[in-house]
Amino acid sequence: MRQYILNTLKIAFICCISCYTIQAQHTHDGLHHWEIPSKDPDRIILTFHGDPSSKRAVTWRTDSTVNRSVAQIAEATVNSGFTKEAITVEAQTEPFDLGRYKGNASLMVNYHSVTFEELTPDTIYVYRVGDGMDHWSEWIQFRTAKETTEATQFVYFGDAQNDVLAHWSRVIRMAYQTAPDASFVVHAGDLINNAHRDYEWAEWYKAGGFIHSQWTAIPVVGNHEFRPTAEGEPRKLALQWRPQFTLPVEQSLDSTLHETVYTVDYQGVRIIVLNSNDKLEEQTEYIEDQLKSSKAQWNIITCHHSVFSPAKGRDFQFAREFWKPLFDKYNVDLVLNGHDHTYARGHVPVRSADSTLTGDIKTVYVTSVSGPKQYQLDEEQMKAYASDGYQRDQAAEQTQFFQVITIDEGKLTYVAYTALGEEYDRAVIDKDLKTGKKKLIQADK
């Protein structure tokens, strides 16, 4: 009898401990099922980290019980035989406390990341991520870049920002339907509205679904990626930014700019990503270094704030005074911005010594928005940019857009589509690759 009582007490004690542990680890009240971390990988995203012809990074999330994670990768085949050749790569794991921001549930999660290296150029790979045992993602495909200058296509989004799951999901899905073979995607800042709020990041990942794990992302920080974590504190980069995106680190820059300022070279295209929120003077030197050293046929700049702001009450004067002269000097081809929740495409024409137009152009500037938040155009402000040499070519209000950009030798074709997949704006930069001279060919306005 005594032994029976002892065994009963032991079982009760174990049950109490188990119940306490479950309650401590699973404070999921009020969360949607797609917010809740589990042993299964979620929020899987591909990013560039090194030479795109031989490297690619992947990052994902699990609950805090998964302390060891791995990724497997193999060259894709027409059947499932590739699994026999898959190699396993140990992931780096970073614990993350969602509760550091009071607007989140008090949960510990783990972010995991792997950089695949020594890949073969121009090859389709298949990968999966998981705990190495019972909890795996599906197998996902991507293609490495070619080592040479080749035709390249990519997608560009302005701000998603608000009501991302409800209203941005159809835009990214229409973009994928329109350009499924795009090599990468530029998210030009304000991916969400409240930097640290995990519910909004969950929306962003659910809206894109598998697209995030298949299209390699180039994320750009916007002003909404910076918020205080508590009242009275200075604003901080989104707590999730560095754990969830594995991005290049420019060691020459201040550590606060790491993984927000970086350069990607892809098949003859150099894309320079800037942080238009902070330390702008330091980035001015970085811009010149990257443009001066560029051997790419095409040079593209992306930052969140619009150099030629088309919306009322917006003005990025610093960029026009200090960055635009460098864009002019080094013949930058295209600048991609967000922030202003309107649409505008314009260019800077080349003028002769007596200020007459030569027919050539310098840089094309685009501001766009992909989410539902919309502002009004400021017609007078855009006219005033004439003093900076800017000429507006097309504009729009109250429209969600995505852009598909195709580069093939001396021709860059830019097309803006509405959320319905209908073409709204088209322009071609025709470039003499020997002289750098460019013509702008536009569809009838």
Q: What is the pLDDT of residues 298-354, one digit of tens each?
A: 999 999 999 999 998 899 999 999 999 999 999 999 999 999 999 999 999 998 887
CA–CA gap between residue 183 and residue 397 (Å, rounded): 29
For 26-41, b where at least 16 C-beta lie within 10 A, e where not — what string? eeeeebeeebebeebb
- What are 349-384's pLDDT values in tens digits? 998 887 788 889 999 999 999 999 999 999 999 999
pLDDT at residue 67 in the model: 95
The domains located in the chain, with CATH, are 42-143 (2.60.40.380), 152-442 (3.60.21.10)
Going by pLDDT thresholds of 50, 70 and 90, the confidence category of residue 444 is low
Contacts with 262 (C-beta within 8 Å, 6 or more apart), sequence order? 247, 248, 249, 250, 273
Cβ pair 38, 66 in contact under 8 A = no
pLDDT at residue 358 in the model: 87
CA–CA gap between residue 237 and residue 36 (Å, rounded): 23
Angle at 107 between CA 102 and CA 109, to 5 degrees: 125
Which ranges of 40-192 does DSSP label H, i.e. alpha helix? 169-178
* Mean pLDDT of the 402-428 span: 98
Is it the case that residue 15 has pLDDT exceeding 60? no
pLDDT at residue 27 in the model: 63
Question: Amino acid identity of 265?
Answer: D
CA dihedral for 222, 224, 225, 227, sign (positive or negative): positive
Distances (CA, A) of 204 to 168, 190, 275: 8, 11, 20
CA–CA gap between residue 119 and residue 111 (Å, rounded): 24
pLDDT at residue 5 in the model: 42
Is it the case that residue 16 has pLDDT exceeding 60? no
Which ranges of 37-79 does DSSP label H, i.e. alpha helix? none
Element housing 62 (H / E)? strand 56-63
Going by pLDDT thresholds of 50, 70 and 90, the confidence category of residue 182 is very high
CA–CA gap between residue 417 and residue 178 (Å, rounded): 9
Is it the case that residue 427 has pLDDT exceeding 60? yes
Going by pLDDT thresholds of 50, 70 and 90, the confidence category of residue 56 is very high
pLDDT at residue 216 in the model: 98
What's the whole-model pTM score?
0.93
Angle at 362 between CA 360 and CA 366, to 5 degrees: 120
- What are 99-151's pLDDT values in tens digits? 999 999 999 999 999 999 999 999 999 999 999 999 999 999 999 999 999 99
* Mean pLDDT of the 416-431 span: 98
Element housing 244 (H / E)? helix 241-244
pLDDT at residue 8 in the model: 47
Is it the case that residue 1 has pLDDT exceeding 60? no
Question: Amino acid identity of 251?
Answer: Q
Going by pLDDT thresholds of 50, 70 and 90, the confidence category of residue 95 is very high
Is it the case that residue 9 has pLDDT exceeding 80? no
